[in-house]
Amino acid sequence: MSSPRFPAQNALKRLLNRFLPRGRVGTDPALAGSQGRYRPVPVYNLKMPWLAATDLRRSRRPNEFAFEEGKKLTVIIPFRNRDEHLAALRPALEAQLDGQHIDYRILVVEQAGDGIFNKARLINTGILHAADDSDYYCIHDVDNIPVNADYRCPSLPLRLVTKLQTTHRRETEYKDHYFSGAITFRKEHAFAANGLSNQYWGWGKEDDDFFFRLLMQGLCCFADYQGVYRDLANPQSQHFTKATQKRVSPQLSANRHRRNSMLRLQLDPAHDGLNSLTYSILAAHTEGRFEKIVVDIGSQG
């Protein structure tokens, strides 16, 4: 794979974007006439300086979305201490993939030790570990159980989940701009974006960063509005209440700051991602099309 290429930033624009006040992007040209099951993920939720937002809107064009058959999929599941969730996910996921006649493997990437969790590094590890035997990937949260999901190879990055069935049998919907849960994208998309940033420790905002990296490559990301998943109770959910998130999860504040710096175009993704990741595999177990690796991804320095 060639080195990632990101849009060059004019020095004056970089300076202005650093200090200009931020605002929501506003209307999204890619949404014009959008309807049906697969629709673009909007960018109007992004909060950016008006100059950066204007450039982003100008680059947005409706893209034709399609699927390609006969491609090899690797499902990457970042993991630690969630055995009950994995036991529920694996049979449901295999049933969906087998039913759609997809050539797949499931790769669980487990973080060793008890240091601060880094979901993005685990995903990057999975991308690199499976690169020689994958045409496309799905990054998949272990607590999202597919009910109705389309795992075929997409022409553009695709969010598979929109509707969630909770443990109380109630159904909710993700917000339009959400870009996480279960995402499929081609291998060339992963390497063009240089994967995810390795610097998001703890929980939150690495998905926003990845979404913006894809946008910077001119990729219009889509969502499946008929995608239904069952949502398992997440022990980390207590970290996300507004009243406690700064006290319980100080990393979240740091992650927000980093994400905001990315949206101000102050960070260069070409220097942080797949090409800067270091990891070592401590243990591996393979069972048919299921593989689990335990990895050392370092610690927050």
Q: Which amino acid is it at 160?
A: L
Q: What is the pLDDT of residues 245-256, one digit of tens each?
A: 444 567 888 999
Burial of residue 227 (CB within 10 Å: 0-12, 13-18, 19+) is: buried
- Please list, in sequence order, all residues whose beta carbon lies within 8 angstroms of the beta carbon of residue 249, skipping any fewer than 6 positions away: 202, 203, 204, 239
Beta strands in the chain (DSSP E): 22-24, 38-40, 47-49, 67-68, 72-79, 103-111, 136-140, 144-148, 153-154, 158-159, 163-165, 171-173, 182-186, 222-224, 228-231, 280-287, 290-296
Strands (E), 123-219: 136-140, 144-148, 153-154, 158-159, 163-165, 171-173, 182-186
pLDDT at 59: 83
Comparing CA positions, the residue from 203, 300, 201, 197 lying closest to residue 244 is 203
CB burial string 20-59: b at 16+ within 10 A, e below: beeeebeebebbeeeeeebbbbbbeebebbbbbbebbbee
Going by DSSP bridges, is the β-strand pair 228-231/144-148 parallel, antiparallel, or unpaired? antiparallel
> Average of pLDDT values for 257-276?
92
- 135-150 pLDDT, tens digit per residue, is 999 999 999 999 999 9
Residue type for position 28:
D
> Which of 201-205, 233-237, 240-244 comes out lowest in average pLDDT?
240-244
Q: What is the mean pLDDT of residues 6-29?
A: 86
Cα atoms in the Cβ-side hemisphere of radius 13 Å centred on 297: 32
* Coil/strand/helix, residue 141: coil
Banded pLDDT at 238 (limits 50, 70, 90): very low
Give the whole-angstrom CA distance, residue 219 versus residue 217. Answer: 6
- Whether the full predicted model's pTM is greater than 0.75, yes or no, is yes
The DSSP symbol for 285 reads E
Triad 243, 244, 249: Cα angle to 5°:
145
Q: What's the pLDDT at 251?
A: 82
Token digits for 44? 């109007």
Question: What is the band of 167 on the pLDDT scale with cuts at 50, 70, 90?
Answer: low
Confidence at residue 141, expressed as pLDDT on a 0 to 100 scale? 96
Residue 130's pLDDT is 98
DSSP designation for 92: H
**Structural tokens at position 148:** 């109705």
Average pLDDT of the residues in 215-232: 94
